[in-house]
Structure 1
Amino acid sequence: MSDELILAISGNDIFSGGGLHADLATFTTNKQHGFVALTCLTAMTEHGFEVIPIDSKVFKQQLESLIDVPFSAIKIGLLPNVEIAELTLDFVKNHPGIPIVLDPVLVCKETHDVEVSRLRNELVKFFPYVTVITPNLPEAELLIDKKIHTLDDMRSAACILNELGAKTVIVKGGNRLNNHKAIDVFYNGKDYKIFEEAVLDKNNTGAGCTFASSIASELVKGYSEIDAVANAKAFVFESIKQSNEFGVVQYAK
């Protein structure tokens, strides 16, 4: 078994295209041993795709079960409510000195403004303790409370998130700015870098989870943050190429 142990704090995708399934597949492809602390379940109901948070007591018990595991990195995905976010932050604070990647998903972004504000404020508290954050455009807009329309807006958003405490930021633009290119902006407080790949006419469900997990995997291998992002971008591109009707499929290296 690999001595590189990575924890994914993430949700279950009932269709297995993203969430913990994408995280574990990414770690396994990189010959690393993945663990999961489950934050939520999901289901497709008459109301649409629903997220069902794990009871906070059960979630706390999961984290307590893992307290003595010598993790090499932590990847944080969907945190469905403030209570689970608070418990996750406490766990992160007890694991200094290892790469931590936060993929901030605001699952409540289409619900009440007060709920969005509470979770947004809780996510910002993570920034000083994590290595990299990887918001997509809707999440970035909610985190900075400002619309993003252009590449310059993406750079500005990355700068604002850095000023809020995030050491390294990758704002994921997807194909929102360009129908033919998936554009991401990297910023580490000093330098900007634009990453681009062609947009594929394939199912990209789980691509964001895979991207963040791949960054964590690459950081554990010893790559710099900018090289880890470059490698992860290429990894996701190949994964989308092999996606099926349920989501991305990691390719064998």
Structure 2
Amino acid sequence: MSDELVLAISGNDIFSGGGLHADLATFTTNKQNGFVAITCLTAMTENGFEVIPIDSKVFKQQLDSLKDVPFSAIKIGLLPNVEIAELTLDFVKKCPEIPIVLDPVLVCKETHDVEVSQLRDELVKFFPYVTVITPNLPEVELLIDKKIHTIDDMKLAASCLKELGAKTVVVKGGNRLDGNKALDVLYNGKEYKIFEKPVLDKNNTGAGCTFASSIASELVKGFSETEAVANAKVFVFESIKQSNEYGVVQYAK
């Protein structure tokens, strides 16, 4: 294991396909030492898949425990409420010299519109402090309040997020625009770059988490943002190839 220390601030997936499981597996595959601060737990109940936020005091204790660790990068995943988001933002503001990847998940979008609005506003506050953001289309549509139907819409959305303060934006389109291709659009303020891979008839649970954590790993290695995204796209494709009934499986490089 190398001396590259990478932190995942993310949730637990009870079925281990995504969340912190995907993050730590990605870091390990890249021969990096992964740490985690858990934002939430999950469970499958009679009400469906439920997200249980970690108590904010406990979450703060986790972050306080890690404040002196010399991390090489941070990947931020599921932030279940405003309190957790605020504590995370305070933490990353103290890490201005390292790459930070934000994979915004508006987990409460199906429960309460007011909380969604508050969490959306809180996520935007992260933009000036992170290196890359990787929202998927539902999150993008909530962040900019516009529907996305085409590649041009994805480009416009990326530019809107850039105007909100993001440095490098990767809008993850998945297979929503083209059922045969998984499409992503990167915008860094200078150029748009489209990444695509064939859609595989496999379980892709955890692909988004793996993509963001892979970008963080590649940035630690010294790749540019565009190179890191390109490498992560390949990594996720190969991981989906090997997925099982619970989600993606990181392949050995």
TM interval, short-chain normalised: over 0.9
CA distance in 2, matches of 1:28, 1:113: 38
Corresponding residue for residue 33 of structure 1: 33
What residue ranges of structure 1 are gaps of 5+ in the alignment?
A: none
Listed one character per residue, the Cα deviations across residues 147-187 of structure 1 (whole Å, up to 9, x for unaligned) are 11111100000000000000000000000000000000000
For the residue of structure 2 that corresponds to 1:190, the secondary structure is: coil
Corresponding residue for residue 24 of structure 1: 24
Corresponding residue for residue 124 of structure 1: 124
Listed one character per residue, the Cα deviations across residues 2-57 of structure 1 (whole Å, up to 9, x for unaligned) are 11000000000000000000000000000000000000000000000000000000
Corresponding residue for residue 98 of structure 2: 98
CA distance in 2, matches of 1:114, 1:146: 18
Give the TM-score normalised by structure 1.
1.00
CA distance in 2, matches of 1:161, 1:43: 32
Q: Aligned-residue CA RMSD in angstroms? A: 0.4
**For residues 158-237 of structure 1, what are the structure 2 equivalents within 5 Å?**
158-237=158-237
Corresponding residue for residue 87 of structure 2: 87
Listed one character per residue, the Cα deviations across residues 99-151 of structure 1 (whole Å, up to 9, x for unaligned) are 00000000011122111100000000000000000000000000101111111
CA distance in 1, matches of 2:198, 2:21: 25
For the residue of structure 1 that corresponds to 2:80, the secondary structure is: coil
CA distance in 2, matches of 1:7, 1:72: 8
Residue identity in the other structure for 2:153? D
For the residue of structure 2 that corresponds to 1:43, the secondary structure is: strand
CA distance in 1, matches of 2:150, 2:111: 26
CA distance in 2, matches of 1:41, 1:113: 22
Corresponding residue for residue 2 of structure 2: 2
Corresponding residue for residue 47 of structure 1: 47
1:110 aligns with 2:110: yes
CA distance in 1, matches of 2:58, 2:110: 26
For the residue of structure 1 that corresponds to 2:240, the secondary structure is: helix
1:59 aligns with 2:52: no
Residue identity in the other structure for 2:134? T
Residue identity in the other structure for 1:53? P
For the residue of structure 2 that corresponds to 1:63, the secondary structure is: helix
Residue identity in the other structure for 2:191? D
Residue identity in the other structure for 2:232? A
Segments of 4+ in structure 1 off by > 2 A? Answer: none
CA distance in 2, matches of 1:131, 1:176: 26
Corresponding residue for residue 144 of structure 1: 144
Residue identity in the other structure for 1:135? P
For the residue of structure 1 that corresponds to 2:27, the secondary structure is: helix
For the residue of structure 2 that corresponds to 1:104, the secondary structure is: coil
CA distance in 1, matches of 2:16, 2:201: 20
Q: Which moved more, 1:108-117 or 1:240-249?
A: 108-117
CA distance in 1, matches of 2:112, 2:44: 21
Corresponding residue for residue 73 of structure 1: 73
